[in-house]
Amino acid sequence: MRTRIKEVVGVDWFDGAVMNCTFEGPLVRDILLAAGVGEEDGAMQRNVVPKHIHFANHGGKTQHDEWYGGSIPFARAMDLEMDVILAVKMNGLPLEARHGFPVRAIVPGVLGARSVKWLDSITVSDQESPCFYQQRDYKVLPPEVSDSKTAEGYWSRCPSMLEMPINACVAWPVSGSTIKLPASGFIEVLGYAVPQSSHGPVIRVQVSGDEGKTWSDAQLEHGGKYASKWTWVLWNARIKIEKGEGRRIFAKATDSGGYTQTEERSSWNLRGVAYNGYEAAFDLTVIEEVDRQAVTTRFDVARL
Ligand SMILES: Nc1nc2c(c(=O)[nH]1)N[C@H]1C(S)=C(S)[C@@H](COP(=O)(O)O)O[C@H]1N2
Ligand SMILES: [Mo]
């Protein structure tokens, strides 16, 4: 959003802020049920209508608060389809310290901010988490909110982010680079795509090298035994592109829920979040690939 539209108050994530690994641990649903939450009288005894589940770590200060926490709707935590777990293992090994050892929440399909690491408490509440990162960050503010001061009046009126939108990223070629165009006029493009939250897997990725006039279907790689509706797909495509400067590559994903990327660029918001425009690589310089064989041959003929 910053590079394509306008400066934001946010972090430069580029195309890499994505987590795709195997996590193991008990369902939050089972823990809540074991604690008596969800049984009607259990919740009523405590005089709270269970609407939100808070995850928290009180181990130390964060940049903007005294602690870290986030919450998700109670219904999502209880829904067996949503796979909300307390992970104790990542890729078959105990969590590393930096990834939340000994236990963290994992909320698939939802922005990483809710997957609280070094978890030390779970709270059932009728309100969302009071933490700064739930209340005053990770929100799509309206486009007219153009600075932090104006944002003050908006945070409490805007919903906190939950589900991540469908997206496709081009990993190769890299924006701003120079690429050599083979005589065929086609180049190979590589990337990944993620579905709209729980509506995976991604079933189609279309790629264009001519500003969207024509689209080629990419080949998808679903991840074999690790494939699930939550996993990304890796993709590769062969597209036609012309020589020149300022070339762009569009990549558009569609998932099994029918969600697709509809805009070349998403509309701007102050924090630069939830961007999923299909303009996936830009500022490419495409030059002719010099055919060394042909040059050598011509040279030899001239010498003769
Ligand atoms: N306790 C704690 N949990 C946290 C955070 C944090 O700062 N403190 N950051 C969150 C954010 S914003 C993200 S994107 C993920 C990152 O998880 P990872 O470090 O395993 O990639 O952790 C989340 N959980
Ligand atoms: Mo994050």
Cα(111) to ligand 1 centroid in Å equals 10
pLDDT score of 301: 54
Q: Whose CA is nearest to atom 9 of ligand 1?
A: 113
Task: Flag residues of the chain having pLDDT under 70.
Answer: 39-45, 291-304
**Amino acid in the structure at residue 113:** A
- Which residue from 63, 66, 98, 115 has its CB within 8 A of the most atoms of ligand 1, so it is best to mutate? 115
Q: Name every residue whose Cβ is closer than 8 Å to that of residue 158 and which is 6 or more positions away in sequence.
A: 139, 140, 141, 142
Q: Which atom of ligand 1 lies at the shortest distance from residue 118's CA?
A: 1
- Which residue from 116, 117, 136 has its CB within 8 A of the most atoms of ligand 1, so it is best to mutate? 117
Residue 112 CA: which ligand is closest?
Answer: 1
Phi, psi of 154 (to 5 degrees): -110, -25
Which residue matches tokens 């994505």? 18
Cα(100) to ligand 1 centroid in Å equals 8
Number of helical (H) and strand (E) elements in the chain, helices listed first:
6, 17
pLDDT score of 271: 96
Cα(138) to ligand 1 centroid in Å equals 13
Instruction: Report how far residue 34's alpha carbon sits from residue 196's, in angstroms, rounded to the nearest whole number.
Output: 31
Nearest to 115 by CA among 124, 123, 106: 106
Q: Which domains does the chain have, with CATH numbers?
A: 23-152 (3.90.420.10), 167-288 (2.60.40.650)
Q: Name every residue whose Cβ is closer than 8 Å to that of residue 241 and which is 6 or more positions away in sequence.
A: 181, 185, 186, 187, 209, 210, 247, 249, 284, 286
pLDDT score of 43: 54
224-248 residue pLDDT tens: 999 999 999 999 999 999 999 999 9
118 CB within 6 A, ligand 1: yes
Contact (CB, 8 A) for 1 and 267: no
161 CB within 6 A, ligand 1: no
Q: Whose CA is nearest to atom 10 of ligand 1?
A: 113
pLDDT score of 303: 53
Instruction: Report how far residue 221's alpha carbon sits from residue 303's, in angstroms, rounded to the nearest whole number.
Output: 50
Cα three-residue angle 152-158-162, rounded to 5 degrees:
125
CB atoms within 10 A of CB 204: 16
136-174 residue pLDDT tens: 999 999 999 999 999 999 999 999 999 999 999 999 999
Burial 64-79 (b: 16+ CB within 10 A, else e): ebebbbbbbebebbbe
pLDDT score of 219: 98
117 CB within 6 A, ligand 1: yes
pLDDT score of 150: 97
Handedness of CA 25, 26, 32, 38 (dihedral sign): positive
Q: Which atom of ligand 1 lies at the shortest distance from residue 17's CA?
A: 14
